[in-house]
Structures are given as C-alpha cells and as structure tokens.
Amino acid sequence: MKKILNLIILVTFVQVTSFAQTTELITLWQKKDWTTLITASNQQIEANNSNYQAYYWKQYALLEQGKYTEATEVLKTAFECCENKLEIRSELANLYFQQGMYLQAKTELDILLKEQRPDFRTFEQRVQIHEFSKERIAAINLLHRAKNNDASHAFYWIHLGDNYSQLGELDEAIKYYESALAINPLDYQTSSKLARVYLNVDPDAALDICEGVLEKDSTNIRFIQIAASAYIKLDKEKEALENYKMALSLGDSTLNTIRNAGILFQKSQKNDLALKLLNKSYQVDSTDVKVVFYLAMAETQLLNADKGLALFDQSLNLLKPDSSVFSIIHKEKAVIYNEKGNHKQALENYLIAHQFNPKKKFYLYLIAEQYDALNKKKEALKYYQQVIDGIDEKKGLDLLTASIRDFSTSRISKLKEDIFMEQ
C-alpha cells in the first residue's frame, strides 16, 4: 500500500511539474519574449530531452525570429527523442509546407495520410500540393476521402468544385460549389466561382446569383462584371453595357471591363467613348482581334479613315492562323484528356499538336506514351524509336532528356519482346 501511495505521489509531482513548465513557456509566448522562450525551452530539454512541449515552443520562437532552418532541426531532434511522433510529423510537414518545401512536405503528409483519420490540415496541405502540380484527379480522390471523413469543412467542397471546373466537368463543379454554399451561404468568393461556371452552361442562373448578391451589396464590382458577361451571353447588349458603365463608375479598371465596354459603346455608335476605352485596351494587348476590329470601326466612324484602314489590315493579319498557338492549344487539351484517363482523345490532340509544330520533338514521346496506354504496341514502338533517333547525345543531355531516353529505350526493348511473342 505504501509503495502504491509513493507512486501516486510521484506521478502527481511529475504532472504538476510538467504543467508548471508548460505554463512558464506559454507565459513567455504570450509576452512574445522569443529569446527568453528559447532559453527556457533549452533548459527544459536539458532536464528532459523527451519533453515535446519544450521542443514545440522552441521551434515556435525560432520561427517568429525567421530562423526556419533551425526550427526544422529542432523538430527533427524532437522526432528522435519524443514519443508523440505523429504530432511532431504533423508540425514538421506544416513547417515544410509553409516554407514552400513541397517535396519534403509531401513525404511527411503521405505518411500521415496512412492514418485512419488524418486531421484537416493534413488533407488541406496535401490537396494543395496536388493542385500546385496540376494533379487534378489525385486532388479529387483525396478530397472525396476527406469529405467522407468530415463533411463540415467547406474547403473540401470548394476545392472539389475548383478541380472539376479545371477538368471541364462543369455539372460536377456546380454540384460541389452549391454544397459549399449550403455550409456558408455568405461566401461571396465561392458564389462568384459558381456564377462563372454557370456563365458557360446557364447564363440566367449566373444572373440569379449576381442579383442575389447585388441586392445585399449593390457596389460589388465582381458580381456586376459577371452580370454583364451573362447579359452578353444572352445577347442583351444594352443591359450588359449598363452594368459595365456601373462598374467603370465604381472605379473598375480591369482590362476585361474596359475592353467589353469599349466594344459595346462602339456597337451603340458612341464612338468617342468607345475610342477612349478601346485605345486603352489596345495599348495593353494589340493582338486582340475584336479590339483591333472595333477600334478600326470607331476610327472610321469618326472619319479617321487612314487609321481605320490600317487597323482593319491589322485585324485581317491577326485572323491568319498561327500554327504554334494551335499546337499549344491542342497540347493543353491533350494534357487534360490524359489526366481524365481518356487516352484516345489525348492521342488525337497530341498528334494534331505535333502536326502544327513538328519541330517540337517532345511531342513524339507524348504520342508514344498514349499509344502505349492504348496498348497499340507497334505504333508505340514506332514513336519511341523516333524519340531515340531524335536525341543527339553529342550535344549533352539535360536530366529530362536523359530520363526520356532511358524510359524510351526500356519500352522499346519490352515492346519488341511482346510483339515477337504475339506473332
């Protein structure tokens, strides 16, 4: 009985001492006395090198002093010495993430995600790293897991909407934006995202959202802009111009508003106002065909015939197809189709991209990959071989080219073997 009593007294003493030490560190944190907080933390670590609270407050103080590398080392030491490794790994991942060290953060976050119920920050940061890398499908899969874990966070629903929108799956984007707004109806940023998606599929619905917001905040420029765009989609140019005029009167100086207002003023025969706005837009982007055309119209209507003719000629030149632009457009479409697992469409777009820009040898590798994914072995072999034939090792290889060479060589060998066995 006496031994048990002594043990209780000892445990109580340790708990009281630990509480007092933690209270001391928190008091220093509240005072923002970072130097003393570091000193006190060091003293507690020397007394007990498994005291995680001391490590935590030390790294916190170092962060406040801008000493990120030292703070990271403190957490690494804590990971080796303390028992609560899950919490430490979470703090370490967060520290890497906040410093933009996404590769290191990814490693720690992926380990944390193996737990049964990761916390919100773990999901949030890993999703954002997927998004930084444009890994839309991976982000979506993780977001679905996260919302099934805890559906109360609007972040999950908003980012599902964002990623589906980026993939062009607008019905899905609408569904998840609306779910986010059910959690927080006053989230104007998400309302604007939803309205912009509706612009492409249902301009009337976009207008309804804008009117709902503008009833509460009649000077919200963002929603005045979206309403104007919706009216344009609905061929209601008079209403669109009224909204653009309102936006301009509120100080809107965005290129889109200046451009569209200028065009609509010209179409309304208000050429003086049109000329002023279109010239501003032209100075920012002289390759915008519509701006050049309507600027030519305005100059011509104001009897500046020579300027008008020159601008009409310029607009005709701009309408001539630019093969490099077409190539980039089709390449970007192929990237999206590939992410969605639609390899047939991806292949078609990569072939068109290469047709418009045959000097871009990297397209050969991308085409080979798509044939490979479609299990078209002979075609894949042909393009992998073209990749190898196009690499001049005498000029030296960068890391990407060397990697492509090695992978293509490996696939050529395997494909030849497969084709031989199938004959």
Which tens digits make up the pLDDT trace of 192-205? 999 999 999 999 99
Q: How confident is the model at residue 233 (pLDDT cuts 50, 70, 90)?
A: very high
Higher pLDDT, 27 or 14: 27
Question: Residue 24 in contact with residue 40, Cβ under 8 Å?
Answer: yes
Structure-block tokens of residue 200: 């492409």
Alpha-carbon gap, residue 342 to 368, rounded angstroms: 15
Mapping DSSP to helix (H, G, I), strand (E, B) and coil, where does residue 310 land?
helix
Give yes or no for a contact between 130 and 143, defined as CB atoms under 8 angstroms apart: no
**pLDDT attached to residue 168:** 94
Contact 226, 196 (CB under 8 A): yes
Residues 6+ apart with CB under 8 A from 212: 191
Please give the pLDDT value at position 11.
33
Q: For residue 137, what are its two tokens? A: 């499908």
In the predicted model, what is the mean pLDDT of residues 370-392?
Answer: 90
Which helix H or strand E contains 106, and what residues bound it? helix 102-112
Q: How far apart are CA 86 and CA 109, in angstroms?
A: 11
CA torsion through residues 400, 402, 407, 409, sign: positive
Measured in whole angstroms, the distance separating CA 308 from the mean position of its chain's CA atoms is: 42
Q: pTM score, two decimals? A: 0.67
pLDDT above 50 for 6: no
User: Which of 234, 204, 259 lies closest to 244, judged by CA?
Assistant: 259
Q: Helix and strand tally (H, E) in the chain?
A: 23, 0
Q: How far is CA 44 from the centre of its chain?
A: 42
CA distance linking residue 75 with residue 52, whole number of Å: 9
**Residue 7 has what pLDDT?**
34
d(CA 51, CA 198): 54
The secondary structure element, H or E, covering residue 388 is helix 377-389
Residue 184 has a pLDDT of 94
Say how far apart CA 106 and CA 128 lie, in whole Å. 10
**Would you give the distance in Å from CA 389 to the centre of its chain?**
36
What pLDDT does residue 422 have? Answer: 82
- Which of these, 197, 206, 269, lies nearest to 234 by C-alpha position? 206
Please state the rounded mean pLDDT for residues 368-378: 92
pLDDT in tens, 237-296: 999 999 999 999 999 999 999 999 999 999 999 999 999 999 999 999 998 988 998 998
SS3 per residue for 155-219: HHHHHHHHHHHHCCCHHHHHHHHHHHHHHCCCCHHHHHHHHHHHHHHCHHHHHHHHHHHHHHCCC
Tell me which DSSP letter residue 394 carries.
G
Q: What is the mean pLDDT of residues 83-101?
A: 90
- What is the rounded distance in angstroms from the CA atom of residue 328 to the CA atom of residue 148? 38
Residues 6+ apart with CB under 8 A from 354: 327, 360, 363, 364, 367
pLDDT, residue 12, reads: 37
Give Cα separations from 249 to 252, 258, 324 (angstroms): 7, 12, 40
Report CA torsion sign: 19, 22, 26, 27. positive
Report the percent of the chain where pLDDT is more than 70.
Answer: 94
* 85 in Cβ contact with 112 (< 8 Å): no
How confident is the model at residue 21, as a pLDDT?
62
- What is the rounded distance in angstroms from the CA atom of residue 158 to the CA atom of residue 235? 30
Answer yes or no: is pLDDT of 16 > 50.
no
Cα separation, 220 vs 280, whole angstroms: 23
State the chain's mean pLDDT as an integer. Answer: 88
DSSP string, 3-27: HHHHHHHHHHHHHHHHHHHHHHHHH
From the list 131, 125, 132, the residue with the least C-alpha distance to 111 is 125
Q: Which residue has the tokens 């001049």?
A: 392
175-190: pLDDT as tens digits: 999 999 999 999 999 9
Asked if the model's pLDDT at residue 10 lies above 70, the reply is no
